[in-house]
Each structure stands twice: as C-alpha cells, then as structure tokens.
Structure 1
Amino acid sequence: MLNKLPNGVRYSSHKEWQLLKKLPKWWLLGTLVFASPIAYTWWQQEDLLTQNIERTSMFLGLLFTFWFFIGALMIGLVVIIIMKGPGYVADPYYLPKEDKSLENKDNSV
C-alpha cells in the first residue's frame, strides 16, 4: 500500500521527540498554574459568577490560550516528525487520452 522511495533520505530526529514527550507535563503544570486562582476563588466563595468575574474571565482566557498554544505546538512537532520520516512513492495517475475535437469548440454557454 505504501511504497517507500528506494533512495529516500531519512533525517535523524533531534529535539522534536524530546519536546513531544515533555508536553503532557507542561500541559499539566500550566493548567495548574492558570486554574489555581479560579479554584481558590471557588473554594473561598463558592460562586464564581457574582464575585471577581473579571479576574475569573482573565484566568479562563489565559488557561484556554495556554491550551491552544500547547495544542499548536503538538501539531507542529508531529508535522516535523512526519516530514523527517521516509519518503513515499505516490501512485501514478495516467491522464486519459486527449480528445482533439474538443480543442476548437466554443465553450461559452
């Protein structure tokens, strides 16, 4: 199904695997940092919507931005890993024989 190129060059991996393995730890640590003020406010007051809504919104925005950054970083690292892998041969696509009678027809409809 997938045919590798006979003389394809496979590049050695450098930092991408190391960074990819550290991402879950970074995600957990960052989530704890940005969610702890929200959890503390909820623990003390038990109502996030009436007290400190600006602060809660700010930390939720920081949390979601951090999650987006980690997700984008993960996608980028996976793309780098795939691009450094072996090359594959695509299936040939043979063009149909050209119909010379269609070349001179007016195609305006």
Structure 2
Amino acid sequence: MSPFNRLPGFKKSALGFECKVLKKLPHIFLIGTTVLLVLLFNARSDFFGLDIKDALVMEYTILGSLLFHWMCTLGIGLFCIIVWVMKGPAYVMDPYFLPEES
C-alpha cells in the first residue's frame, strides 16, 4: 500500500495563469536585478554628479529597492507554487470514518 492514496472521484484542475507567471519569473528577476545593479554602479562611479551624502542616500535607496524586488519575486513565486500544488490531485493518508449514528 502506498503512503498516499488518491482521493477517488477527484479530478485535476487545468493549469492556469500561475504556470505562465512561473515561466516568466526568472526573466523578471534577472532584468530587475540587472537594472538596479547598473543604477547602483553608476551611483558609485559619480555618474550622476552627486555629493557624498546624496550618493549614499541614492545607494541605500537602490539597495532597498533591490531587496524589495527580490522579496516580491520570491513571494510571487511561492504563491504560484502553492496554487499549482493545490490544483493537483487530492491525496488521503488515513481517512477518518465517521461513527455510525444509532
């Protein structure tokens, strides 16, 4: 007997928008990270002509935006994986049979 038995009569749902988002997520992650890192290196190389205090504020803002971008990408990815798993077949480990009423 297998550890997980499929629930009889349960049908898988069709894959939807979550798979399309999961396929595009690595590209979104790489493009967003690249853009923010280019901005960060330009801020450090005196490209914008800022004084030291403004350059530090710009660096911290870009680093915060980079971390925010990573966390949003991770959150969206986890959400899509959860939806994808929940659309799969239903399994039952040990069914709980209700006692018969007398």
The verdict on a shared fold, with TM-score over 0.5 as the criterion, is yes
Q: Which residue number corresponds to residue 37 of structure 2?
A: 35
**3-state SS of paired residue (2:42):** helix
**3-state SS of paired residue (1:57):** helix
Greater relative contact order (Cα < 8 A, sep 6+): 2
- In the alignment, structure 1 segments of 5+ residues that lack a partner are 95-109
Q: Which residue number corresponds to residue 69 of structure 2?
A: 66
Give 1:93 shift: 6.5
Q: Distance in 2 between matches of 1:35 and 1:91?
A: 51
Question: Bigger radius of gyration, 1 or 2?
Answer: 1
**3-state SS of paired residue (1:11):** coil
Q: Which residue number corresponds to residue 94 of structure 2?
A: 91
- In the alignment, structure 2 segments of 5+ residues that lack a partner are 98-102
Q: Is the 8 A contact 2:22 2:80 kept in 1?
A: yes
Residue 59 of structure 2 corresponds to residue 56 of structure 1 = yes
Give 1:41 shift: 2.9
Q: Distance in 2 between matches of 1:15 and 1:67?
A: 21
Segments of 4+ moved more than 6 angstroms: none
Give 1:4 shift: 0.7
- Aligned residue pairs total 89
Report the AA paired with residue 77 of structure 1: C
Q: Aligned Cα RMSD in Å?
A: 1.9
